[in-house]
Structure 1
Amino acid sequence: MASRLIQSRFSLSRLHLTAGNKNGRFLSTESNKVDEPFKVEEAETVNVPPPPSEKLLVLGGNGFVGSHICREALNRGLDVASLSRSGGSSLHDSWAKNVTWHKGNLLSSESWKEALDGVTSVISCIGGFGSNSYMYKINGTANINAIRAAAEKGVKRFVYISAADFGVANYLLKGYYEGKRAAETELLTKFPYGGVILRPGFIHGTRSVGSIKLPLGVIGSPLEMVLQHAKPLNQIPLVGPLFTPPVNVTAVAKVAVRAATDPVFPPGIVDVYGIQRYNQQMSR
């Protein structure tokens, strides 16, 4: 009995020693087999191209609304270019140096189409006042030319800064509104899935005229606070649209840039209340 007990203890000790050695490597219970350590194969390196950069072209980027849009787009890390009849900006702000400025006339020459090379989205702030025929050309024909050229170049999204209806004012500025609506129709036709129309009313903010800065917010900001809560007044026949609340230029710029770059931003018309709503969502 004693000899069997000693033999059993000897067998257990032998098994324990063969289960693991002093270096921590696990061994087979069979003395002539050693498990190979776990090998990790190095993954093959694949050259994946970086995601394409967003390039935004702002039509009328040296104007009141356009300059704010350029600055907002730069703050979001976009590659920004501007096209206008004057070309370079008269602004002396540091951000203006980061914009590629193009000179061109949407009504006369096709040389401006080179500014669309590599562009993924366009925001148009082109507009103006004058005689009815002039207003139709600037607000309508010029924008229609830009919309068609952008569609031909394969631009993905196009945002047009239009204008809210003001009832009786529409008849006084017939060429202005007829031009705006003609451009809207063309945009919805050429860009059914990537065309966005913003219809702000009076746009307030600090406006630079040469070396003079006009604080339009002094009037616009209080009116916006009051009229944004008086939406039912907007439904009054004829004069109701005159109660359309003003909107800050910064809000217009933020929503315009988002509409131009966000693929899930719904296409179609966004009125002043929609602009305020989207701006509030982005500010949260």
Structure 2
Amino acid sequence: MTAVVSRLIHSRKSISWLTAITTSKNGRRLSTDSNKVDEPFEVEEAETIDEPRPPTDKLLVLGGNGFVGSHICQEALDRGLSVASLSRSGRSSLHDSWANNVTWHQGNLFSTDSWKEALSGVTAVISCVGGFGSNSYMYKINGTANINAIRAASEQGVKRFVYISAADFGVVNYILRGYYEGKRAAETELLTRFSYGGVILRPGFIYGTRRVGSMKIPLGVIGSPLEMVFQYTRALNQIPLVGPLFTPPVNVTAVAKVAVRAAIDPVFPPGIIDVYGIQRYSQHKSK
């Protein structure tokens, strides 16, 4: 008899406990008697624990104080990235407020020891390094310097590398032989070292407002109309030797947008992106 009474008491306690924790969607406690709704019960707020956010992608822009490089730095900062720049002159001469948010490094791509520190913690690199001069000089700047950077980034474990190369311009390639041979040598090295994370952008003429000292040169006055016109002459681009001269110009902001996206988006396709691809990707909304 005592055992039966004990079980009944235990069962009533269980029912009482279940009734207390049974709630409706609006937070009220439901009674087991005639489906009456009792007063809402108080729920103690759980303690909030501050968990560290995942590390931010760190981007290193080679030549970040130049025309294209400065726009890439601005785009990356707008995307919330940690941005550093490496160049021979170091800090940008620009007095814009965004420049204060970039970590500026001075170094020489022909002397890896002078800029190893700049690669520390870097997850992606974008190279805008290039120049004109004699054929030997152009090959050295466009080719050798970038090859050194690609190899150093690969050895450091950098995940992605974006290289701002140049579109083929047919007959112009023969005139600027060192320039294009250097570019193509760097491309080959990149595709070898970064087969899954290497992206090559091949814009033609890049327009936008370019600063030379205190002067601002509005290249868009020429570039923008030509870009509109050349959109309708794409078939002419296939003509041997002279056809590439009809390659449409592209806005510097479009190049910067695609370069940064290619550097941080793990599903961005590796390989060569021509000017038409740059235009197409720049119109896609960033995630």
Shorter-chain TM-score above 0.5: yes
Give the Cα–Cα distance (whole angstroms) in 2 for the partners of residues 60 and 199 of structure 1.
17
Q: Tell whether 2:89 aligns with 1:86.
A: yes
Q: Could you tell me which residue of structure 2 aligns to residue 38 of structure 1?
A: 21
Q: Could you tell me which residue of structure 2 aligns to residue 278 of structure 1?
A: 281
Q: What's the RMSD between the two structures over aligned residues?
A: 2.5
Q: Tell whether 2:230 aligns with 1:227.
A: yes
Q: Could you tell me which residue of structure 2 aligns to residue 206 of structure 1?
A: 209
Q: Tell whether 2:62 aligns with 1:59.
A: yes
Trace 1:61-140 onto structure 2 (pairs within 5 A).
Answer: 61-140=64-143
Question: Cα 1:115–1:33, aligned 2, differ >3 Å: closer, same or farther?
Answer: same
Q: Could you tell me which residue of structure 2 aligns to residue 167 of structure 1?
A: 170
Give a deviation string over 1:83-108, Cα, whole Å, max 9, x none: 00000100011100100000001013
Trace 1:227-246 onto structure 2 (pairs within 5 A).
Answer: 227-246=230-249
Shift of 1:41: 11
Conserved 8 A contact 2:223-2:249 = yes
Give the Cα–Cα distance (whole angstroms) in 2 for the partners of residues 41 and 156 of structure 1.
45
Letter in 2 for 1:118: G
Q: Could you tell me which residue of structure 2 aligns to residue 25 of structure 1?
A: none
Conserved 8 A contact 2:230-2:248 = yes
Give the Cα–Cα distance (whole angstroms) in 2 for the partners of residues 30 and 202 of structure 1.
87
Conserved 8 A contact 2:207-2:223 = yes
Letter in 1 for 2:67: F
Give the Cα–Cα distance (whole angstroms) in 2 for the partners of residues 173 and 32 of structure 1.
92
Give the Cα–Cα distance (whole angstroms) in 1 for the partners of residues 68 and 83 of structure 2.
15
Letter in 2 for 1:250: T
Shift of 1:109: 4.7
Q: After superposing the two structures, state which structure 1 stretch, 39-48 or 70-79, moved more.
A: 39-48
Conserved 8 A contact 2:199-2:272 = yes
Give a deviation string over 1:164-221, Cα, whole Å, max 9, x none: 0000000000000000000000000000000000000000000011111110000000
Shift of 1:283: 7.9
Greater C-alpha radius of gyration: 1
Q: Normalization by structure 2: what TM-score?
A: 0.84
Q: Secondary structure at the match of 1:281?
A: coil
How many pairs does the alignment contain?
A: 257
Give the unaligned 5+ runs of structure 1: 1-28
Give the unaligned 5+ runs of structure 2: 1-7, 23-42
Question: Cα 1:124–1:31, aligned 2, differ >3 Å: closer, same or farther?
Answer: closer
Q: Could you tell me which residue of structure 2 aligns to residue 247 of structure 1?
A: 250
